[in-house]
Amino acid sequence: MFSSKALEINDYEVKQFIQKFKFNCNSVHSPVNFVNKHKQWLSNNTFYTPGLEKFKHGYVVAGCTESFHEVYKEHCYVLKDEYTYHRDSSMAVVCDIDSIPLHSRLLISFPFAATGNLHNDWHYILKVCEEKSIRIFVDACLAGVSLGKLDLSHPCITHVAFSFSKAFGTGHMRTGVVYTNTKNTPASVRNTHLYLNHMHMDLHMKLMTEFDSDYIFKKYRMSQIKICEKHSLTQSDCVLFGLDNGRKCITRELESLQ
C-alpha cells in the first residue's frame, strides 16, 4: 500500500502552475539573485533555519545530490539508514558516529532520511563531531515538507543544501542551493560562469513567488494525521511519512484526498 521510497506530492495547484508556465529558452538568471530569493523563501513559521546567515556563499546546484560533490573528495561517512546515494555511488562509508575518524566529513540529512524526524542522536552527534573535529554537511532536502528547527550556528556545520524536489515535485528539473563559507569549489565555478539550467531557475523563481516554503506542509498536515491514525502509524515531522517499524511514504494516499 505504502512506498518505502520518499515520493513527492503531485499537488494540483503546483502542477497547474507548472503546466501553464511558459519556458523561455533565452532566460538568464543571476545566481546571486536566485540565492537571495531562496533565503527569503526559506523563512516561515514551520521550519526554522537559524544560523543560515553565517554562510558567506550560496551556490545554485542541480539539487542536493549534486551539492554533495562539493565534499566527496574528502573522507566521507554517513550513518546507518542515510540517503542511499552516498553508499550506492561509493562516495561515503556507512559507519556509527563513534567510529568515524578524527578530522573526517559526516554527511547527514535533517530531517533524517529514515524517519523524517530529528535524528534520535542529533545532539550527541554534534558533541562527538565537535570533540573529533568532524565537519558536517547537512542535507536539508526535506525542509520544504517538514516541521522543525535546523540550527546551523554549530561550528562543525560547514555546508547545508536545499532542494525544491519535494516541495514542488520538480525532482526531474534538478534545482537547489548549497550554502557554505568555502570558495573556489565546483559549484562556485559553475555559478561564476553561469553554467546553470536557467530555464529551471526561471521556473523556480516564479514558484517561490507563488508558493510559500511551507505550503505543502500546511496543506497536507491534517490529512497526514488522519491517514496515520487510520493505519495505526505514528506521524513523522515530514508530512510525506508515517512511521511504524520503519518509514512508510503515504504520499499517494495524501494525493487522493486533494
pLDDT computed for residue 27 by the predictor: 86
Q: Residue 246: pLDDT above 90?
A: no
Measure the CA angle with vertex 102, ends 100 and 113; round to 5°: 35
Q: Residue 1: pLDDT above 80?
A: no
Q: Could you give the CA distance from residue 139 to residue 145 in angstroms, rounded to a whole number?
A: 14
Of 126, 220, 164, which is closest to residue 38 (Cα–Cα)?
164
Range in 122-126, 147-151, 204-208, 242-246 with the lowest mean pLDDT: 242-246
Range in 87-91, 98-102, 222-226 with the lowest mean pLDDT: 87-91
pLDDT (mean) for 154-180: 96
Strand 157-163 to 135-139 pairing: parallel
pLDDT in tens, 132-156: 999 999 999 999 999 999 999 999 9
pLDDT in tens, 108-134: 999 999 999 999 999 999 999 999 999
Percent of the chain residues past pLDDT 70, beyond the cut: 100
One-letter amino acid of 79: L
Instruction: Name the pLDDT band for 165 (thresholds 50, 70, 90).
Output: very high
Q: Residue 216: pLDDT above 90?
A: yes
pLDDT (mean) for 156-178: 96
> 139 near 165, Cβ under 8 Å?
no
Composition of the chain by helix, strand, coil, percent to 5: 40, 20, 45
Instruction: Name the pLDDT band for 252 (thresholds 50, 70, 90).
Output: very high
Q: Residue 5: pLDDT above 90?
A: no
Q: Could you give the CA distance from residue 59 to residue 188 in angstroms, rounded to a whole number?
A: 6
pTM of the model: 0.95
Q: Residue 95: pLDDT above 90?
A: yes
pLDDT computed for residue 98 by the predictor: 97
CA 101 to the chain's CA centroid: 26
pLDDT (mean) for 39-46: 93
Q: Could you give the CA distance from residue 153 to residue 112 in angstroms, rounded to a whole number?
A: 18
pLDDT (mean) for 21-29: 88
**Residue 161: what are its φ and ψ, rounded to 5°?**
-120, 140
pLDDT in tens, 43-93: 988 999 999 999 999 999 999 999 999 999 999 999 999 999 998 899 999
As a whole number of Å, the end-to-end CA separation of the chain is: 18
Measure the CA angle with vertex 218, ends 239 and 200; round to 5°: 80
Q: Per this entry, what is the length of the chain?
A: 258
Domains of the chain: 29-210 (3.40.640.10)
pLDDT computed for residue 258 by the predictor: 76
